[in-house]
């Protein structure tokens, strides 16, 4: 079907979302909970855009295209929503997200450098028991990407969203950590995480501090 994104004519297939159309047109739409390897989730509300004929901004990732739709990705109201979403997310973190993370990059592109709101931040809570995967729970923004990667990409069903509101976070197994869960150590969760709430242990240990990657373990002595 034919539609318009920021004044450009775009042809999309049946079933395409507004986000698909925007990306096809080369337009940038901020996203936090979206990963193209997963079904659209529509949780973060960062991807709001204006669509002709709707009174309020709509989420691009879960809105299906219609013939003749006119989409504005630069709509000021939508951008205000996105900035507010990112500011609220940042307000709960004890420290700024690392520059390489998707959250930091989205914030930078939206021109959000801090948060207007102060208040409670998540307590630092690290779990380094797995040799490759590390939890930094204080960085979790409950986007659900890790849980969906585990379910929809790998199929290990090891991660669960836990808690409500400010307490919302992610857990492996029944909170027992990766090693005691059905985790197969594929790392899809760390790969998709936009904040490093789940990240690579080897990067935490080594190069993130500026040094070289850590040594390899020695081969076990023969018995």
Partner 1 sequence: METERFDRTVTTTCGYCGVGCRLEAHVRQGRIASISPAADGPANRGHTCLKGRFAHQFTRSRERLTTPLIREGDGFRPASWEEAYARVVSELGRIRDQHGPDSIAGLASSRATNEDCYAMARLMRAAIGTNNIDNCSRVCHSPTSFALRKSFGLSGATGSFDDIELADVAILIGVNPTQGHPVVGARIKQAALRGCKLITIDPRRIELADYGVLHLSPRPGTNAAVMLGLCHVVARDGLTDAGFIAERTEGYETLAELLVGYTPEVVQEITGVPAQDIEQAAHIYAQAQTGCLLWGLGVTEHKYGSEVVQLLCNLALMTGKVGKPGSALLPLRGQNNVQGSSDMGALPDTYTAYRPVSDEDTARLFEQAWGVPLSRKKGYTIPQMFDAALSGELKAMYIFGEDVAQTDPDTAHVVAALEKLDFLVCQDIFETETSRYADVILPASSFLEKAGTFINAERRFQLVEPAIDPPGGAKTDFEIITTVSRMLGHDMGFETPWDCLDEIASLTPQYAGVSRERIGRHGAQWPVRADGSDSPVLYDTFFDNPEQRGKFAALPYKAPGDAADDEFPLILVTGRVLQHYNAGTMTRRTSNVELVDSDLLEIHPQDAERLWVSDGDLVSVRSRVGRIELEARVTERIQPGHVFTTFHFPETRTNLLVGQSADVNTSCPEYKVVAVDVRPVAEHPAYVPQLAGVS
Question: 165 vs 212, which CB is nearer to partner 1?
Answer: 212
Q: Is 200 in the site for partner 1 (CB under 8 A)?
A: yes
Q: Is 15 in the site for partner 1 (CB under 8 A)?
A: no
User: In the block, which residue shows the tokens 């090891």?
Assistant: 158
Alpha-carbon span 133 to 127, nearest angstrom: 9
Q: Is 168 in the site for partner 1 (CB under 8 A)?
A: no
Question: 88 vs 153, which CB is nearer to partner 1?
Answer: 153
Query: Which of 24, 62, 154, 160 lies at the binding interface for partner 1 (CB under 8 A)?
Result: 154
Question: 72 vs 102, which CB is nearer to partner 1?
Answer: 102
Q: Is 184 in the site for partner 1 (CB under 8 A)?
A: yes
User: In the block, which residue shows the tokens 């450098």?
Assistant: 113
Alpha-carbon span 87 to 90, nearest angstrom: 5
Q: Is 24 in the site for partner 1 (CB under 8 A)?
A: no
Locate all alpha helices (DSSP H) within 61-155, ordered by sequence. 76-91, 102-110, 145-148
Q: Is 215 in the site for partner 1 (CB under 8 A)?
A: yes
Total residues interacting with partner 1, rule: CB under 8 A = 35
- H and E: helices and strands count for the chain: 6, 10
Cβ-based burial of 116 (10 A; exposed 0-12, middle 13-18, buried ≥19): exposed
Q: How far is the CB of 101 from partner 1 (least distance, A)?
A: 10
Tokens of 112: 């959000």
Stretch that binds partner 1, among 53-61, 137-145, 165-173, 186-194 (CB under 8 A): 186-194
Alpha-carbon span 199 to 189, nearest angstrom: 8
Q: Is 213 in the site for partner 1 (CB under 8 A)?
A: yes
Q: Is 219 in the site for partner 1 (CB under 8 A)?
A: yes
Question: 99 vs 123, which CB is nearer to partner 1?
Answer: 99
Contacts of 128 by beta carbon, 8 Å cutoff, 6+ apart = 134, 135, 201, 204
What string of DSSP letters covers 113-145? -S-S--S--PPP-EE--SSSEEEEGGG-----H
Q: How far is the CB of 107 from partner 1 (least distance, A)?
A: 15
Tokens of 157: 């069903």
Would you tell me which residues interact with partner 1 (CB under 8 A)?
Answer: 36-37, 99-100, 131-132, 152-155, 179, 184-188, 191, 200, 202-203, 206-208, 211-220, 222-223
């Amino acid at each position: 079907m034919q539609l318009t994104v920021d004044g450009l004519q775009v042809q999309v297939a049946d079933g395409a979302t507004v986000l698909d159309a925007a990306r096809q047109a080369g337009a940038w739409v901020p996203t936090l909970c979206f990963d193209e390897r997963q079904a659209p989730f529509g949780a973060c509300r960062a991807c709001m855009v204006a669509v002709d004929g709707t009174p309020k901004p709509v989420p691009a990732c879960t809105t299906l295209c219609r013939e003749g739709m006119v989409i504005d990705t630069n709509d000021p109201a939508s951008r205000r929503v996105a900035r507010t979403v990112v500011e609220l997310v940042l307000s709960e973190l004890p420290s700024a997200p690392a520059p390489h993370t998707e959250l930091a990059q989205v914030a930078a592109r939206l021109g959000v450098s801090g948060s207007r709101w102060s208040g409670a931040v998540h307590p630092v809570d690290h779990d380094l028991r797995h040799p490759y995967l590390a939890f930094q729970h204080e960085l979790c923004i409950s986007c659900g990407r890790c849980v969906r990667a585990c379910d929809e990409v790998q199929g290990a069903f090891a991660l669960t969203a836990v808690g409500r509101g400010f307490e919302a976070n992610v857990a492996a197994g029944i909170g027992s950590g990766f090693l005691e869960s059905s985790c197969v150590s594929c790392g899809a969760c760390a790969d998709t995480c936009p904040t490093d709430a789940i990240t690579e242990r080897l990067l935490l240990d080594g190069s993130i501090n500026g040094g070289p990657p850590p040594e390899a373990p020695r081969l076990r002595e023969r018995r």
